[in-house]
């Protein structure tokens, strides 16, 4: 059961990252916010490839102890991610105000918390 809860948390974060492209999240991050829009989009998108390679390796291809540790920290991240969005909510480029965007921010945190409790 815990594995399914974690997978849902992880899938929701991936969904959020897809939404983050639509919402132009690179305009909020220091560094990418200075880039022209098309380049910011490209950098933001391309950086997610190695990120997801590393996460998939940690969650599914390492030893049991490393997997458990990585999943624990990712679940904590999913919870803290809600706070990060709350802190950025007044940024002039913040666009995560739709019901779908809010769902894709809050739901991973809920599933991350459930994973930590189970």
pLDDT reported for residue 90: 97
What string of H, E and C letters represents the secondary structure of the chain? Answer: CHHHHHHHHHHHHHHHHHHHHHCCHHHCCCCHHHCCHHHHHHHHHHHHHHHHHHHHHHHHCCCHHHHHHHHHHHHHHHHHHHHHHHHHCCCCCCCCCCHHHHHHHHHHHHHHHHHHHC
Residue spans per domain, the chain: 2-117
Tens digit of each residue's pLDDT, the chain (118 residues): 999 999 999 999 999 999 999 999 999 999 999 999 999 999 999 999 999 999 999 999 999 999 999 999 999 999 999 999 999 999 999 999 999 999 999 999 999 999 999 9
């Amino acid at each position: 059961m815990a594995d399914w809860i974690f997978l849902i948390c992880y899938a929701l974060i991936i969904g959020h990252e897809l939404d983050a492209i639509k919402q132009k999240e690179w305009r909020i991050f220091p560094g990418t916010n200075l880039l022209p829009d098309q380049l910011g989009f490209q950098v933001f998108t391309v950086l997610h490839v190695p990120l997801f390679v590393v996460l998939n390796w940690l969650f599914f291809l390492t030893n049991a102890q490393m997997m458990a540790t990585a999943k624990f920290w990712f679940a904590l991240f999913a919870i803290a991610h809600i706070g990060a969005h709350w802190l950025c909510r007044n940024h002039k480029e913040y666009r995560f105000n739709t019901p779908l965007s809010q769902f894709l921010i809050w739901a991973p945190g809920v599933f991350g918390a459930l994973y930590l409790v189970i």
